[in-house]
Structure 1
Amino acid sequence: MNDRPTGNYEDRIADLERRVRLLEGSTGSDESPSADESAGTASPGTAGSIGYQGAVSLYGNVSWTIDYDAAATLGLDASSIAGVLDALGSPARLAIVRTLLRGPATAAELQEATDLSSPGRLYHHLRTLSAAHIVEQQSRNRYHIPPAKVVPLLVLSLAAADVAEEL
């Protein structure tokens, strides 16, 4: 079963359309899924499969499962992947993400939690995280991590710690 966070109707319709495109792609269509479409479950191929899952209760309950063809993973858009990794590659931005994984926060709360010296530095980092589709602005001065990104971000952190031999 592929548990996904529920969202508004537009999000749910977009997810259904993405799934249909993935199914059509797996029946021999010449169209290959885009990086956005690849966020769903794909059939494992002869190279094996890679996946992750999680059920998290930080500032809401989120479940996520993904299983993806290992060889196809190597064909995903490198610039999109590098953009996310680059955005998370700063200790200050990682501190912002870790704070927001615990729940939404205002800019003042983020500045205090991350010890950034100025609001300008904070907004610079927030723009980078927003451009990488990691952080969203909820209201004028309040930020959050979309529920669908919670488990993937925690897995990225765990995987990075594993690669750094911190586990």
Structure 2
Amino acid sequence: MNDRPTGNYEDRIADLERRVRLLEGSTGSDESPSADASIGTAGSIGYHGAVSLYGNVSWTIDYDAAATLRLDASSISGVLDALGNPARLAIVRTLLRGPATAAELQEATDLSSPGRLYHHLRTLSAAHIVEQQSRNRYHIPPAKVVPLLVLSLAAADVAEEL
């Protein structure tokens, strides 16, 4: 689970082409100027982590900064919206410690009814954050653990909580 770029295929291909040019030492001066001329000059953004919560997970990603600004806004806002609710964030924090049943999630998050819990679980599932393991058991896929922790840390940084 290393160096997994996200985004649409055009952004992934542009990032791979940029990396090949860097590896080959090409400046790209023989190419005609394009709207993507800033790729490679804007820098890169990335994160990594190795955690042992309910299993050992390590993750590293490095992505072109300019390409990051072109990622699908609706997908990004869907994830941020899903995590922007305190009850859903509590569900995610609980599941980052390990899989849990609906009853365990309801107790851990102080939700007043199973209906409210399932409403939040549907939102988190639609955003590809939480998966249902079995009829009544939920988990966060290992590949999402470090990115979710990074999102939480980044949000705390933006909120000047660090």
The TM-score range, normalised by the shorter chain, is 0.7 to 0.9
**Gap change, CA 1:90 and 1:45, over 3 Å in 2:** same
1:108-155 CA distance string (max 9 Å, x none):
000000000000000000000000000000000000000000000000
SS of the residue 1:7 aligns to? coil
Residues 19-28 or 66-75, more deviating: 19-28
Q: Which has the larger radius of gyration?
A: 2
Q: Which runs of at least 4 in structure 1 moved beyond 4 Å after TM superposition?
A: 3-36
**Gap change, CA 1:105 and 1:14, over 3 Å in 2:** farther
**Gap change, CA 1:121 and 1:4, over 3 Å in 2:** same
Q: Confirm or deny: 8 A CA contact 1:25 1:32 kept in the other structure.
A: no
Q: Confirm or deny: 8 A CA contact 2:95 2:140 kept in the other structure.
A: yes
Structure 1's unaligned 5+ residue stretches are 37-41
Q: Confirm or deny: 8 A CA contact 1:25 1:31 kept in the other structure.
A: no
User: In the alignment, which of 92, 102, 111 is matched to residue 107 of structure 1?
Assistant: 102
1:51-79 CA distance string (max 9 Å, x none):
00000000000000000000000000000
- 1:35-74 map, 5 Å: 45-74=40-69
Give me the whole-angstrom Cα distance separating, in 1, the residues matched to 2:144 and 2:13.
18
**Gap change, CA 1:160 and 1:104, over 3 Å in 2:** same
Structure 2's unaligned 5+ residue stretches are none
What is the CA distance between 1:46 and its match in structure 2? 1.1
**Gap change, CA 1:131 and 1:43, over 3 Å in 2:** farther
Q: Confirm or deny: 8 A CA contact 1:48 1:71 kept in the other structure.
A: yes
Q: Confirm or deny: 8 A CA contact 2:99 2:139 kept in the other structure.
A: yes
What is the CA distance between 1:2 and its match in structure 2? 3.2
What is the CA distance between 1:45 and its match in structure 2? 1.6
**Gap change, CA 1:72 and 1:143, over 3 Å in 2:** same
